[in-house]
Amino acid sequence: MPNIVWMQAGACSGESMALLCADRPSLENLLQQYDLNLLWHPSLTADARFGQVLEAITSGRQKLDILCIEGSLMTGPDGSGQYDTWKGRAKIDIVRELAPLATHVVAMGTCAAFGGVHAAGPNPTDCTGLQFLKDQPGGLLGADWRARSGQPVINVAGCPAHPNTMTKVLAMLAEGEMLQLDTLNRPAAFFASLVHQGCTRNEYHEYDIEDEVLGGRGCMFFSLGCRGPQTLAPCNTELWNGHSSKTRAGVPCFGCTSPDFPSNRDLFVTPKIGAVPKFLPLGVARAKYMAYKNLARAAAPERVINREMEP
Amino acid sequence: MTRVTVDIDLNRVEGDLEFQLDLEDGVVVDARCVGTLYRGFEQIMIGRAPRDSLVITPRVCGICGTAHLYAATLALEQIAHITPPAHAVLVRNLCLMAETLQSDLRQSFLFFTPDFCNPLYAGHPLAAELAEAFAPLKGSVVRGCLKSTRELIGIVAIFGGQWPHSTYMLPGGITQPANARRLIDTRDILASVRAWFEQAVIGGDLDEWLALDSAEGLFRWLAASPARQRSALGLFNRFGRDIGLHKLGAGTGHLLSYGVNHRPDGAGSELPAGFFNADTQQVEPLDHLQINEHVRHSWFLDYPGGRHPWAGETIPDHQPGSDRYTWAKAPRYGDKVVQTGPLAELRIAGEPLITDLLASEGDNTWLRQFARLRRAGWLLNATVNTKKQLKMKCDEPHFIDPKIDVWPDGESVGLVEAARGGLGHWLRIKDGLIDKYQIVTPTAWNASPRDSAGRHGHWEQSIIGLTVPDPENPVEIGHIVRSHDPCLVCTVHFIGSHKKTHFNV
């Protein structure tokens, strides 16, 4: 029966709450169907105190199959880790002690993966992710660190991480699968689609019908800061809470699965060169994109120009 | 007489909670609520574009991000004199109520009732029934709660795209209108959650239960049918009162609420804001200028007395081993220690049953938890009513562009009632950018340390005097503290100085 420990560091509980929203599989079904034993979760377990769980694992009496970390790793002030403690002990020291004992270590959310919202300028807590600080390899454990499985920390990025991505990753690990990871150590099975794919505003993007003001039906990429065409995440290929996604609801994608989330610029404004976004859809050449957009606009049907189409 | 100090850490709260207790012969003679985490949001906010608060501040809290989004939006609307359309206000209210309702249900059955399955109670006559209902992740009520809350929070996703952490409110309205499809989905969800609530939580008809207006009436109603006796509420009542939760854990009697359901026309809220003064037993109008924060027992550079959030100063000054013990500040209303949350909300609104229970038994652990279930019932009706009003507004605008290129300089405040009580965002804009952002969360009120006059915070008061037979299994403390619905992740302050600043628990 594989054991899971879920530990919170500098966190808002967003991943813990998202975990309760997972529906395929749900948390309770995951634990039951995959015979997983949740030894510790700060919000959910009642059998043992954290100190008892910690002692059982570090003494070798209890094996640790999957260690999930939620939240940024606070190293400040002055490397002491005293900005985030458990009974006076720095959480980063506890993570450093537990991680080598785990078969798999999973960073649940962008904070644990890359530093996240707490690492936004000026990074007042000197926080970091487990193996990255933003897109720079290193982090708390170092770029070369490997879990007992031989894999680095698996980065289930997102702010918060997508509910079903978390439970599916745990299901795959429980079944003994070796996960394929991308260059940022995110599981490829969930990070090989763009937020743009499946966005219900795609037709507006296709014909270059762009909104200048929030609250409309058009595409938000050119002016409103949407990063859907650049952001790898499952949001529009597996909907949130069984219903929708931010871009479908008219909220720009802020790129929360990316290492630089949240960016330091105005989050609701797209930086441009001339009339065209400075940052183009992933991998696209500027000259060809401009040519395509000019043609696309010319081909736009009235129903799209008039924003008759409901996202 | 032996005096010992014990450190107690508690889970099944949001975030990390530690208490230091001084025990004399097993009785708590002093309690210190310790904040253990600093996240530094305030410095991150300074110098950013004002609307970025709509993306950053919901991330203060994974469980009440909608409340933070709402407060941030109100602060921006106040500073620029923007009035949102009724359509938008109703959608905001509906989503905030859905979030509060899921929080109340999860807090009750994932955080609070698991303590009823503590090994200490294994010999209790109700032990088998309690385990069947409340065993962590397995009990029948727990499984139903997981399913119902998952459905319920889908309402926020229908209107806002996702939960947690979306940004669908903005100054001037919301990003996406309500329409027939979304409202039918919402109605279906609310009906299904209500059916579960009636069957599993109260064991009877919701409207009948909500009509009960006295303690005596409540106990009579619960005793009158086996279904009600067996329900989650019935078990909570029978077991909770048998172990004396109604005589345990009185904190401050002063109550604070910022009001529930802002009216679309801007004229107050459905459950009114106010301050209940326990000395006079009167509800006074809310005046946010009465709010001030102290740092005398926190790890910050001292200043005399308390300061309003707009005038706050927060310079870290870590002094382990001194009489300072937390990274949290001590908010006070005037010179009063207050509590905030569903009990305060319903008492200030004059809800008859809660008013009667509070008058007859005073503040206690059972009542705080009961008030949370009572509010859940009230919300089940209020959400349906809001949805009906919304149906009439679908053809009106959901967003009116305020056409702001540069945000005006000034100060403002956004106040909402989050699941755990009053939440305030205080904002200052200078040269079109955020110059200062300070948040006083519900848990900051409830979990506050002593202030400059030495007055203990609400939780501390609720524990002092308690007998703790076994510090290794302090189940009594678990009951009391969890009845306050602690959210430690959220107890974060924002400060506008350019110094290294402010800490949170």
Residue B434, beta-bridge partner list: B429
Establish if B503 belongs to a structural domain.
Answer: no
Establish if B242 belongs to a structural domain.
Answer: yes
Average of per-residue pLDDT across A121-131: 94
Establish if B92 belongs to a structural domain.
Answer: yes
- CA distance, residue B135 to nearest chain A CA (Å): 9
Using a CB–CB cutoff of 8 Å, tell me whether B134 touches chain A: no
Provide the domain limits for residue B91.
3-483
Q: What are phi and psi of B346, to 5 degrees?
A: -75, -35
pLDDT at residue number B16? 72
Structure tokens at A82: 């005293």
- CA distance, residue A242 to nearest chain B CA (Å): 7
What distance in Å separates the CA atoms of residue A249 and residue B158, rounded to the nearest whole number? Answer: 8
Establish if B335 belongs to a structural domain.
Answer: yes
Q: What is the pLDDT of residues B203-228, one digit of tens each?
A: 999 999 999 999 999 999 999 999 99
Distances (CA, A) of B366 to B209, B211, B229, B239, B345: 18, 20, 17, 10, 16
Q: Within 13 Å and on the Cβ side, how many CA atoms surround A2?
A: 21
- Which of B142, B162, B170 has the highest number of chain A CBs within 10 A, making it the mutation to test binding with A? B162
User: A266 contacts in B (CB within 8 Å)?
Assistant: 48-49, 51-52
Quote the DSSP letter at residue B14. Answer: B
What distance in Å separates the CA atoms of residue B289 and residue B332, rounded to the nearest whole number? Answer: 11
Q: Which amino acid is at B441?
A: T
**A242 and B157: CB-CB below 8 Å?**
yes
Q: Is B37:B327 a contact under the CB 8 Å cutoff?
A: yes
Contacts of B206 by beta carbon, 8 Å cutoff, 6+ apart: B194, B197, B198, B377, B380, B381
Other CB atoms within 10 Å distance of the CB of residue A249: 25
H or E stretch including B331? strand B330-333
Please name the residue of chain B whose CA is at the shortest distance from the CA of residue A23: B150
CATH code for the domain in which residue B30 is found: 1.10.645.10
Average of per-residue pLDDT across B118-131: 96
Per-domain residue ranges of chain A: 3-174, 193-311
Other CB atoms within 10 Å distance of the CB of residue B137: 18
Closest CB from B136, B160, B398 relative to A215? B398
Using a CB–CB cutoff of 8 Å, tell me whether B99 touches chain A: no
Place B491 in a pLDDT band, splitting at 50, 70 and 90: low
Q: What is the pLDDT of residues A9-50, one digit of tens each?
A: 999 999 999 999 999 999 999 999 999 999 999 999 988 889
Q: What are phi and psi of B445, to 5 degrees?
A: -65, -55
Average pLDDT, chain B: 92
**A246 and B166: CB-CB below 8 Å?**
yes
Other CB atoms within 10 Å distance of the CB of residue A84: 27
Using a CB–CB cutoff of 8 Å, tell me whether B16 touches chain A: yes
What one-character-per-residue DSSP string does B207-244 give? HHHHH--SHHHHHHHHHT-HHHHHSHHHHHHHHHHHTT
pLDDT at residue number B505? 24
Range of weakest confidence among A8-22, B65-79, B491-505: B491-505
How many angstroms from the chain centroid is the CA of residue B322?
A: 31
Using a CB–CB cutoff of 8 Å, tell me whether B12 touches chain A: yes
Residue B421, beta-bridge partner list: B418
Count of helices and strands (H, E) across chain A: 9, 13
Using a CB–CB cutoff of 8 Å, tell me whether B451 touches chain A: no
Q: Where do runs of H (alpha helix) occur along B153-301?
A: 154-160, 180-196, 206-211, 215-223, 226-230, 232-242
Distances (CA, A) of A282 to A228, A255, A287, B11, B87: 10, 12, 14, 43, 37
pLDDT at residue number B504? 27
Terminal Cα-to-Cα distance of chain A (whole angstroms):
45
Dihedral sign for Cα atoms in the order B378, B384, B388, B394: positive
What distance in Å separates the CA atoms of residue B76 and residue A169, rounded to the nearest whole number? Answer: 39
Tally of domains within chain B: 1
Average of per-residue pLDDT across B391-409: 97
Residues 478-497 of B with CB under 8 A from A: 489-490
What distance in Å separates the CA atoms of residue B47 and residue B35, rounded to the nearest whole number? Answer: 27
Using a CB–CB cutoff of 8 Å, tell me whether B21 touches chain A: no
Place B256 in a pLDDT band, splitting at 50, 70 and 90: very high
Closest to A246 in 3D by CA, of B161, B155, B69, B92: B161
Burial (Cβ within 10 Å: 0-12, 13-18, ≥19) of residue B471: middle
Residue B398, beta-bridge partner list: none
**B65 and A14: CB-CB below 8 Å?**
yes
In the predicted model, is pLDDT for residue B501 greater than 70?
Answer: no
User: B13 contacts in A (CB within 8 Å)?
Assistant: 43
Closest CB from B65, B168, B398 relative to A251? B168
Please name the residue of chain A whose CA is at the shortest distance from the CA of residue B186: A243
What distance in Å separates the CA atoms of residue B445 and residue B505, rounded to the nearest whole number? Answer: 12
What distance in Å separates the CA atoms of residue B266 and residue B268, rounded to the nearest whole number? Answer: 6
**A159 and B59: CB-CB below 8 Å?**
yes
**B165 and A125: CB-CB below 8 Å?**
no
In the predicted model, is pLDDT for residue B493 greater than 60?
Answer: no
pLDDT at residue number B167? 98
Establish if B431 belongs to a structural domain.
Answer: yes
Residue B383, SS3? helix
Q: Which amino acid is at A303?
A: R
Using a CB–CB cutoff of 8 Å, tell me whether B505 touches chain A: no
Establish if B101 belongs to a structural domain.
Answer: yes
Kindly report whether the peptide bond that precedes residue A25 is cis, defined as omega within 30 degrees of 0. Answer: yes
Please name the residue of chain A whose CA is at the shortest distance from the CA of residue B34: A87
H or E stretch including B147? helix B140-152
In the predicted model, is pLDDT for residue B109 greater than 70?
Answer: yes
User: B85 contacts in A (CB within 8 Å)?
Assistant: none
**B136 and A120: CB-CB below 8 Å?**
no
Average of per-residue pLDDT across B313-319: 71
Residues 58-87 of B with CB under 8 A from A: 59-63, 65
Establish if B47 belongs to a structural domain.
Answer: yes
User: B136 contacts in A (CB within 8 Å)?
Assistant: 44-47
Q: Is B376:B112 a contact under the CB 8 Å cutoff?
A: no
pLDDT at residue number B496? 30
User: A41 contacts in B (CB within 8 Å)?
Assistant: 11
Closest CB from B111, B154, B318 relative to A241? B154
pLDDT at residue number B14? 73
Terminal Cα-to-Cα distance of chain B (whole angstroms):
33
- Which of B9, B44, B106, B156 has the highest number of chain A CBs within 10 A, making it the mutation to test binding with A? B44
pLDDT at residue number A49? 87
Burial (Cβ within 10 Å: 0-12, 13-18, ≥19) of residue A62: middle
Average of per-residue pLDDT across B26-34: 91
Residues 379-408 of B with CB under 8 A from A: 398-399, 401
In the predicted model, is pLDDT for residue B492 greater than 50?
Answer: no
Place A246 in a pLDDT band, splitting at 50, 70 and 90: very high
- Which of A31, A35, A110, A251 has the highest number of chain B CBs within 10 A, making it the mutation to test binding with B? A251
Angle of CA points A254, A170, A136, to nearest 5°: 45
Other CB atoms within 10 Å distance of the CB of residue B119: 10
Q: Is A140:A93 a contact under the CB 8 Å cutoff?
A: no
What distance in Å separates the CA atoms of residue B101 and residue B196, rounded to the nearest whole number? Answer: 13
Q: Which amino acid is at A155?
A: N
Architecture of domain A3-174 in this structure: 3-Layer(aba) Sandwich (3.40)
- CA distance, residue B26 to nearest chain A CA (Å): 21
**B153 and A10: CB-CB below 8 Å?**
no
Q: Is B442:B421 a contact under the CB 8 Å cutoff?
A: yes
Q: Which amino acid is at A136?
A: Q
Output the furthest CA–CA distance in chain B (Å, rounded).
72
Q: Within 13 Å and on the Cβ side, how many CA atoms surround A224?
A: 24
Q: Is A69:A76 a contact under the CB 8 Å cutoff?
A: no
**B161 and A47: CB-CB below 8 Å?**
no
Inter-chain CB pairs, A–B, below 8 Å: 218
What distance in Å separates the CA atoms of residue B6 and residue B13, rounded to the nearest whole number? Answer: 19
What distance in Å separates the CA atoms of residue B101 and residue B13, rounded to the nearest whole number? Answer: 17
Q: What are phi and psi of B20, to 5 degrees?
A: -105, 125
Other CB atoms within 10 Å distance of the CB of residue A54: 20
**A14 and B399: CB-CB below 8 Å?**
no
Average of per-residue pLDDT across A163-167: 98
What distance in Å separates the CA atoms of residue B484 and residue B338, rounded to the nearest whole number? Answer: 12
pLDDT at residue number B1? 65
What distance in Å separates the CA atoms of residue B306 and residue B337, rounded to the nearest whole number? Answer: 12
Please name the residue of chain B whose CA is at the shortest distance from the CA of residue A32: B138
What one-character-per-residue DSSP string does B61-80 give? -SSSHHHHHHHHHHHHHHHT
Which fold is adopted by the domain A193-311? Cytochrome-c3 Hydrogenase; Chain A, domain 2 (4.10.480)
How many angstroms from the chain centroid is the CA of residue A229?
A: 16
Place B322 in a pLDDT band, splitting at 50, 70 and 90: confident
User: B64 contacts in A (CB within 8 Å)?
Assistant: none
Closest CB from B15, B55, B147 relative to A254? B55
User: A47 contacts in B (CB within 8 Å)?
Assistant: 136
Whose tokens are 């407060």? That residue is: B71
% of chain B beyond a pLDDT of 90: 81
Whose tokens are 């009951």? That residue is: B479
What distance in Å separates the CA atoms of residue A175 and residue A51, rounded to the nearest whole number? Answer: 29
Closest CB from A125, A160, A245 relative to B38? A125
User: B153 contacts in A (CB within 8 Å)?
Assistant: 21, 241
What distance in Å separates the CA atoms of residue B230 and residue B225, rounded to the nearest whole number? Answer: 9
Structure tokens at B502: 């402010």
